[in-house]
Each structure stands twice: as structure tokens, then as C-alpha cells.
Chains A and B, each alone.
Chain A
């Protein structure tokens, strides 16, 4: 990185930390600290929920996913608009009317303390683990740039986020996220323009997508129904719907965002606008990954995108073998150039037979390149059994640092930091609010003053920050980060959603039945997930439906009790 890039990066990081500290001055009571006095307009709610979901992981992993496997991941978000509608009809009016701090407060009003504590506990586990992955994602940026181990960068980034979050209440988080999303949209646009500009003069945007498409990277839609295919229209619409409904309806990191809305209407508008914008935004992020793939058809990509691991191998006794692999990789790339030329000609002449022929040859070359890459990763493991051999998350990053102009590299890296800080901040804020409101205030210290609860929230943020850093240190052993977060969520979200749906719609079911049903379901979901019975998105459906069905059955067996308040 140039001095200009470093200056841009450092100034932005300092500005965000100072901004967070400055904004926290206003949050002097627990209501202001956790709910921002419920004063935010719809556009702030919208950008805040988007920024919470779209972390640095989105920015790093999604283009890498498109580069490796294509655009099918976009289908994952098809259930989101439908989930927004259900949220606006059911969840939002109830949460606002009952003036709750956390979603789980409602469950005690509807069922009992056990159910509230169980769902809060499941949330704390899931969010605590996934926030660790969120912290790890930007730390790999520094490790690539500075060529040092991710352990040190994870601790540095995590420490910075904790410092900023402890001082920044939820209102500060929301205002910061508005700015972050604006910069992210600008950065995405700039990255897209630059990658098209870097393509050979004979290759425009359309031809670049065509070439990537011929090599299987524009597979945005798959209508085939397959239980074991991660991303199809059906898994996205059905499984995705349940996942998004549970994420936005029962995950405090999102509930806390739209509860800052000044009214039911403002919270609804924020969520519905998110439903309008999210899928096109995700499509564009994946399209950038496809364009990067097209770019690397004309510019030789590194045999492995994680330069830290590659340098380690180059400096080892396996250097001669690596040189041989590099030569083989270059050979395949050079041969591919001729096929690309012929494909371009066939595309210009609309010669379908020629296109089909070159497509087969290019796919073969792609497979050969993959097998050479496999040789390199095998060598890495031989050299160091603990080596990180998944470089998906480094693909976009490697492109940014090597090919983008000076200044823009610093800005794009700063954007990744901003995105990560925003989502991590709201996650830590929600972990703190659930720990304090649902556990500390309800079970440990019921009579404390407002100031004591505020202090407890700050200490809880520090504690959870530490836990998340520890989790982040293990994140390098997990494959694609964005998938890891979603898989983790699928183990727990379905159960929590099932509990909420029973609370909203099955008035006959009481707390004891739903509590036992939730525990049995969680065990069943973990077994299904462990043995990979179905693709992970379906775990949300199974979890949710199982809680509903078991609750009804158990209610028949157990003696019904009088309904509690809080029912819709």
C-alpha cells in the first residue's frame, strides 16, 4: 500500500472512533443507550438494518463466492421481502405497543420466564459466535497487507471495535451506519467501474459477463428442487424466508435497530425499503465478483490468493515444487488465452457451434487450473498442517490491493473496516442489551438504578467483545465466512422463530409446552445439521415447524393453563 492509502485508511479509522465517542455523549440513560429514545426516521432504520446485515463479510466473501462458484448465492435473499411483510404485519406493531427493549421480553409476557431465558440464551450463543467471525473478516485485510498472522490483526481490530462500541450507544451506531452505507454504495460503484475499465479494450461489460457466463459464473437462478442444493429458488424462497424472518424478527441485533424507529410506520417503512433494495444490492456485489473473474481470464491470477500462506510456502523447503506448480499454472493460463480469443470471435459472429466448442474447452482449462491449485494447497498442508487453504475471502481483496489506483485502495479498505465496525457495533450492542435486560435486570439485580444498568451495559459490551475476539481467532479454520455465519444461524434461528410464531398465532399453547418443544427441536436440528441430512437453509424450516407441531402435541398432553397478557 502507498503512503496515500495508509493516510486515507488511518484518517478514516480515527474519524470513526472519534465520531463514536462524540455521539455517545448524549446517551445518558439506559433507554437512550439501548433504544436511542425511539426517535429515528425510516431511512435511518432502513440503512441501519442494511448495515447490520451487510458487514465486511458481505463485501469480502460474496465477490469471492461469485468468482469461485457463480451468482447462485443471490437466491439466498429471495425470502427477505416476504419476511419483511410478515414482520410489518405482526412483529413490529406488537414490539412497539408493548414498549419492549428486547424481543425476548415479549415472550415472558406471553409465556413465562423460562421461555424468555431460553431464547435469550440461544441468541447470545449464536450472536456471540457469529460476531467473532464478523470481527475476523476485516482482520484478514491487515494480515494480507502487512504479511503477518491473522491472530495479531484480529486482536487489534477487535480491540478497536470494542473501544468504539462501549462509548457509542445505539443512536450513535445508527447515525454511523447511515454514513457507512452511503460510502459503501459509492465504493461498490467505483470498484465496478474500475474493474470494467481494467478489462482489455476489446472486452466491454456485456462481453465480460458473457465470457464469465460461458464458464458457469452467471447462474443466478436455479428452479430445480433439490434438498441438498444450497442455493435454488425454492431453498431461497422457503428456507430463506424462515431464516430472514427469524433473523429480523427474533435476533436482537436487528430488532434493536428497527425499535429505534419513531413510530410503527417509520419502522415498517425502514424494513420494507430494505426488502426493495437488498436483493439488487446483493446481485451487484456478486456481479463485481463475476467481473473480477472475467478480469482474471486476461490477467494471470496468483496460484493462491492468500499471499501470507503463499509466501510461507515460497520461503520453505518446498520452493522447487512450488516453482514447478507455478510454471504449470502459467502454461494453462497461456493456452486459455487462445481459447478466449476464439470465444470472443465466436461471440462477435454469433457462431453458436463455435461458442459451444470453446465453452467446453474453457471449462476443461478451468478444471485443469483447479487441479493445479489443489496441488499447491496440498503442498501448503505438507509444509504446515495448520495452513489456511481456503482463499475465497482473499480473492476480491487481492484484486483491490494489486490493481486499484492509489488512494482508492485505502478508501476501499476503509469501507470494509466501516462495514465491519458498524455490524460488529450493533451486534455487541444487542448482546449487551440482552445480557442486561433479559438476564442481569430480570434474574440477578432487579432493583438497580438506571445508571447501574447503563454501566452494566458497558461492561457487558466489553465482556462480549472479549468473547468475540476469542471466537474470531478460530474463524480462520472455517471455510467461506459468509456461509459460516448463515450455517450457524440456521442451527438456532428456526427454533427461536418457532417459539415466536407459537406466541403470536397459537393462543392455546402455554409456556411449558413451548419450552419443552424448543429444547427437543434444538436437539433434533443439531443432529440433522451434524449429519448433513439436508442443506443448511432447510434447518430453519425444520426447526420452526418442529417447534410449532411439538408445541401443539405437548399442549394436548400437558394440562392447559390460563393465557397470559401480551397476546396479539
Chain B
């Protein structure tokens, strides 16, 4: 059976592409929150 850790198609730092996708969605949520706080703080 193929060792997933040696699979060149897997992304670094996370175990699967699905995890990377979830991480990216989380990152987008964090950015929107930070920009909201930025807008409120400086307006």
C-alpha cells in the first residue's frame, strides 16, 4: 500500500488537501473579522 506521507501530491504541514481547503476558508473568516475590527476601530 502507498505511504501517504511519501505521496508527492499531498500538501506540506497538513494531512490532506481537504484539510488545506478548510484552513483556507478559516483564514478567509479570520481576515474578514480582522478587517471588520479595523473598520470599527478607526472609523
Contact = CB atoms under 8 A, between A and B. Distances in A.
The residue among B11, B27, B43 with the most chain A CB atoms within 10 A of its own CB is B43
Contacts of A89: 21
B42 A85 contact: no
B31 to A, nearest CB: 5
A89 B17 CA distance: 9
A89 B22 CA distance: 13
**Residue among B9, B12, B17, B28 having the largest count of chain A Cβ atoms under 10 Å:** B28
A272 B36 contact: no
A61 interface: no
A213 B31 contact: no
B24 A81 contact: yes
B20 to A, nearest CB: 6
Q: Considering residues B25, B27, B36, B39, which has the most beta carbons from chain A within 10 angstroms of its beta carbon?
A: B39
A517 B43 CA distance: 46
Contacts of A567: none
A275 B11 CA distance: 14
Interface of B is mostly: helix
B39 A218 contact: yes
Contacts of A264: 9
Interface stretch (A152-160, A276-284, A297-305, A459-467): A276-284
Given A81-B24, A272-B20, A275-B24, A263 B8 contact: yes
A462 to B, nearest CB: 39
Interface in B1-43: 8-12, 17, 20-21, 24-25, 27-28, 31-32, 35-36, 38-39, 41-43
A213 B43 contact: yes
A213 B43 CA distance: 5
A283 B24 contact: no
B35 A74 contact: yes
Nearest to B9: A265
A219 B38 CA distance: 8
A522 B37 CA distance: 40
Which of A209, A220, A223, A269 has its CB near the most chain B CB atoms (within 10 A)?
A: A220
Contacts of A84: 24
A74 B35 CA distance: 9
A107 interface: no
A213 B42 CA distance: 5
Contact of B17 (A88, A210, A218, A276): A88
B6 to A, nearest CB: 13
Contact of B10 (A88, A209, A223, A265): A265
B39 A85 contact: no
Contacts of A257: none
Nearest to A220: B35
Contacts of B35: 74, 220-221, 283
B11 A82 contact: no
A85 B28 CA distance: 12
Contact of B32 (A209, A216, A233): A233
A218 to B, nearest CB: 4
A336 interface: no
B9 A220 contact: no
Nearest to A213: B42
A276 B27 contact: yes
B39 A219 contact: yes
A216 B39 CA distance: 10
Nearest to B12: A269
A213 to B, nearest CB: 3
A78 B24 CA distance: 12
B40 to A, nearest CB: 8
Given A221-B35, A272-B11, A81 B28 contact: yes
A268 interface: yes
A340 to B, nearest CB: 16
Contacts of A276: 24, 27
Interface in A210-235: 210, 212-214, 216, 218-221, 223, 233
A210 B10 CA distance: 44
Nearest to A219: B39
A89 B24 CA distance: 14
A233 B33 CA distance: 11
B28 A82 contact: yes
A78 B9 contact: no
Given A81-B24, A85-B21, A279 B38 contact: no
Contacts of B24: 81, 84-85, 272, 275-276
A276 B25 CA distance: 9
Interface string A64-89: 00000000001000100110110011
A252 B11 CA distance: 25
Given A85-B25, A265-B11, A78 B43 contact: no
A221 B11 contact: no
A268 B11 contact: yes
A268 B8 contact: no
Contact of A81 (B10, B11, B27, B41): B27
Interface of A: 74, 78, 81-82, 84-85, 88-89, 209-210, 212-214, 216, 218-221, 223, 233, 263-265, 268-269, 272, 275-276, 279-280, 283
Interface of B: 8-12, 17, 20-21, 24-25, 27-28, 31-32, 35-36, 38-39, 41-43
12 contacts: A81-B24, A81-B25, A212-B42, A213-B42, A214-B42, A214-B43, A220-B35, A264-B9, A265-B11, A269-B11, A272-B11, A279-B28
* Nearest 7 A/B pairs, CB to CB: A213-B42, A265-B9, A218-B42, A220-B35, A221-B36, A221-B39, A85-B21
